[in-house]
Structure 1
C-alpha cells in the first residue's frame, strides 16, 4: 500500500543514502497505521488475513507491535 511519509520521516529519508533508507520507508508510521486499520477491519469481519512485505524485519516488527 502506498502511503505518504510524515514530513519528519521524509526529511530523514531524503537525507540518508544507506540501507537505513529502506527501513524508513517500510517503517513509515502512516504505512503502519494503514496496515493496522486493514488488519482490524478484516478481523472484525472474521476474514483470513495475510500481510506481505518485502522486508522481513518490518514484517516481524509490525507483528510484534500489533501483538500478532
Structure 2
C-alpha cells in the first residue's frame, strides 16, 4: 500500500508521443512530470515551449521536469 501522503507521478515523453493518452493517464496522477531532451542545435525553441505548455495543461497545474 502507498501512504496517502505519497505523491504519484509518471515521466511523460512530450506532446508528440501518440501511443499514450496523457490526459487519461493523468487522472490517476497527483502531478505531471516529463523528461525534457531538446536538441539545441536543431530543435525550435517554440517546440520546447509547446511541450512545457502541454505538460502544464494536462492537469492545469504546475509540473516537474525530471530530466
TM-score by length of 2: 0.31
Higher helix share: 1
Higher strand share: 2
